[in-house]
Structure 1
């Protein structure tokens, strides 16, 4: 069964700006620890003054691959009062370099030192509501818990605190409530609306922002994506981590320019752009979740291609992003965009489906064609594992972004070439299959680095 509750997620919660390399392991934990700091500042002073220690407990893939993903420094950054969309990525990458590093966490005039020993990485099966669970505790001198927050990093940088409404929940209701693709299509037909119009009106209802501001913010999101591409095609050297992976994007870009007259040159450029943004993510630079950081190379590659090679107008680009958001919302609402729940089909698979929808709608495709493109994008990522070597968002993640973009492009071509009625599988159906596949997949293949390609390389 798909969810019956209407989607109330904002476009700007789905597309978030923040530091790499992982929205679940970096952006989510930073937001959670920042929230915990805020709650410490609101504790009754008689409780706060008893605080002598802060302890952080990590479970699931936050424990299994947290160090490779930078979860420790993200948590410290949040406790220092940093936020993903404003933090300095260089300063963030400088945290927790050695075991002896200590940081003073200040709340209500009280200072507590934390270090690597403040974090505990728990192994084994847990019964928490989500695999990516973190518990932050304020302890007294004897080690008794004075206050704690239990958080779940549910994918794409979204967090949920135990006992609290899900992040982004609101009492506001969308102008055209829907929870399935079928309901979305009924709204469009009944009200004579274009998909982009419906998405804008829903965003206005949910956020209270005027249309002009929404469009400005969409342009700003694209600008962040394209800045990541531009940085990535210039940057050279070795990516952080023990794999010592060499950046490839600058070489690919130069070779693409040398063969610019070839019939398939746009694919060479697209590969370079996808790798450029994805390598920036792996380096811990600022990227945009689309819908996650691990998949943050797919969209920049496609949108950069659309803007600088296909010369789409700004409005066409915005409309495409709105169509993509509709698809991302449906997956997040009815399955998951979390690698810890769905494997990489939840990340690259969703990004590919969103990209296919964007290309199709920007090219003038109908809602039926958009649905077909998105369905094809998901269908051909079903069962894809998330098995990063060493817990780093590098192998196979970086190249997988380029492959996801290529599949998105082909899904768009397929959807625009045949009559939509010839497509036998609906988008709602493939989301049900996606959710069931993620549920049945072994946890070893869901972001834990315990199987698959993660075991194919012996690190020195």
Structure 2
């Protein structure tokens, strides 16, 4: 059976909130489209441009910043490096001038409120997250290209097979948990198998440096989120909570930077409630940053970006895991578990509900924590299975289409479930388990297929229709 080669840097992408599928994916799609125009020497021939958003991108695109992301992508800005504090200024300039610079080079007339079209009653068959770029050239020729944002920042162009552009033959090809366990039977841990596969792309040293860069972005996101108060944008008037909780838990202990902040946290002890509150605080911090168009790491998505960092910091701060080697191993293991879900089911809430985001992130964190705590490969996979088993059927019903309620709190729940799943697995014998990780992946996909579309990131069901909004422009 052919395998899909997915790297740790595919599962963990640096980007901008609030959504990997609705923000990062469309941003990347716009970059791909303009890059193709440039390669064909057509940029300077563009006369007009329209963007059509379909399905979930249309229904929740405003709340998820899809229109903002598309414009920044067309301008050639990169989500990894673009200064997030300049987003509003850049978007306002486009609206005021009614023009944008394609790839930062070619000026084209563009009216955002007219040329970005939200087709909320139309959907394309391949995936709910679809967008089409329509271009008219000064020669009179027209170009139309469609892209799908399939979750986690992954983008697929219509008519192109996934993975065909950059085929990599891995030493340990993996599609399923059974495949992974097969290679582990050769005496390798999960992270060792993953590192060997990563070496098919680049030298091991480069992989380690890249993972530590991912970790630093996670650190920055948590730290900033724990020190920024106020109201989240979007008009729902959700108050940020992480900063107040951070201050309350520290009880006056002082610090000057990230490192001394971690020390201050450790000085508070290791009581159950204290640890529980900090795990929640870490997760809240990340997803409040995400909801504010901050820089986050998909893990495996933006909407679920707080789970893995929260559990990783739990391991580092409260379980003596504070070494670079431990961080690298944790994130390698987490990435492989996430890739198994992507290959066997989905990591797109528009396809599978929130089980595809929070459920997968919880499974990733549970498996990684279990191996980091000395568990066997079977126990790590068992932990991942337990975490997902108890997220099956979780719907995606964002109020007002914003990645705020219930999304932010769900990250705290996913993190706590991951730790609980890990503890259960570490105290269990996997040979006696009734449910395998592969079985739960299949079940998750079956559940996704059966789930009503109202609960797949459309804001047409669940909490999204039962909570009074009282929205105002913000």
Q: Same fold, TM exceeding 0.5?
A: yes
Corresponding residue for residue 304 of structure 1: 313
Corresponding residue for residue 407 of structure 1: 417
Aligned to 2:335, which of 325, 328, 332? 325
Corresponding residue for residue 450 of structure 1: 460
Corresponding residue for residue 397 of structure 1: 407
Q: Distance in 2 between matches of 1:392 and 1:170?
A: 34
Corresponding residue for residue 101 of structure 2: 105
2:197 is the alignment partner of 1:227: no
Counterparts in 2 of 1:136 and 1:104: CA distance versus 1, 3 Å: same
Corresponding residue for residue 268 of structure 1: 277
SS in 2 for 1:65: helix
Q: Distance in 1 between matches of 2:30 and 2:219?
A: 29
Shift of 1:308: 2.5
Aligned to 2:203, which of 210, 233, 239? 210
Q: Distance in 1 between matches of 2:325 and 2:136?
A: 53
2:68 is the alignment partner of 1:73: yes
Corresponding residue for residue 90 of structure 1: 85
Corresponding residue for residue 237 of structure 1: 230
Check conservation: 1:17, 1:289, Cα contact below 8 A.
Answer: yes
Q: Deviations over 1:56-94 (max 9, x none)?
A: 000011000101111111000011111111111122244
Shift of 1:418: 1.4
Shift of 1:16: 0.3
Corresponding residue for residue 31 of structure 1: 28
Shift of 1:109: 6.6
Q: Deviations over 1:104-142 (max 9, x none)?
A: 234797521212211111122524311100000102579
Corresponding residue for residue 161 of structure 1: 157
Q: Distance in 2 between matches of 1:423 and 1:453?
A: 35
Q: Distance in 2 between matches of 1:277 and 1:174?
A: 33
Within a 5 Å distance, the mapping from 1:238-253 to structure 2 comes to: 238-253=231-246
Check conservation: 1:7, 1:329, Cα contact below 8 A.
Answer: no
SS in 2 for 1:54: strand
Q: Distance in 2 between matches of 1:222 and 1:26?
A: 21
Corresponding residue for residue 55 of structure 1: 50
Q: Distance in 2 between matches of 1:11 and 1:436?
A: 26
Check conservation: 1:158, 1:167, Cα contact below 8 A.
Answer: no
User: Mean Cα displacement is larger for which, 125-134 or 240-249?
Assistant: 125-134
Q: Which runs of 4+ in 1 moved over 3 A?
A: 48-51, 93-101, 106-110, 258-263
Check conservation: 1:352, 1:404, Cα contact below 8 A.
Answer: yes
RMSD over equivalenced CA pairs, Å:
2.0
Counterparts in 2 of 1:269 and 1:335: CA distance versus 1, 3 Å: same
Aligned to 1:174, which of 160, 170, 177? 170
- Give the total of aligned pairs: 451
Q: Which runs of 5+ in 1 are unaligned?
A: none
Q: Which runs of 5+ in 2 are unaligned?
A: 252-264
2:343 is the alignment partner of 1:350: no
Q: Deviations over 1:351-394 (max 9, x none)?
A: 00000001100001111101110001111000100011111110
Q: Distance in 1 between matches of 2:65 and 2:378?
A: 41
Within a 5 Å distance, the mapping from 1:356-395 to structure 2 comes to: 356-395=366-405
Q: Distance in 2 between matches of 1:347 and 1:424?
A: 24
Corresponding residue for residue 428 of structure 2: 418
Q: Distance in 1 between matches of 2:339 and 2:22?
A: 21
Counterparts in 2 of 1:127 and 1:411: CA distance versus 1, 3 Å: same
Corresponding residue for residue 131 of structure 1: 128
2:437 is the alignment partner of 1:437: no
Aligned to 1:17, which of 14, 17, 28? 14
Aligned to 1:257, which of 250, 253, 273? 250
Q: Distance in 2 between matches of 1:184 and 1:84?
A: 32
Shift of 1:319: 1.3
Corresponding residue for residue 259 of structure 2: none
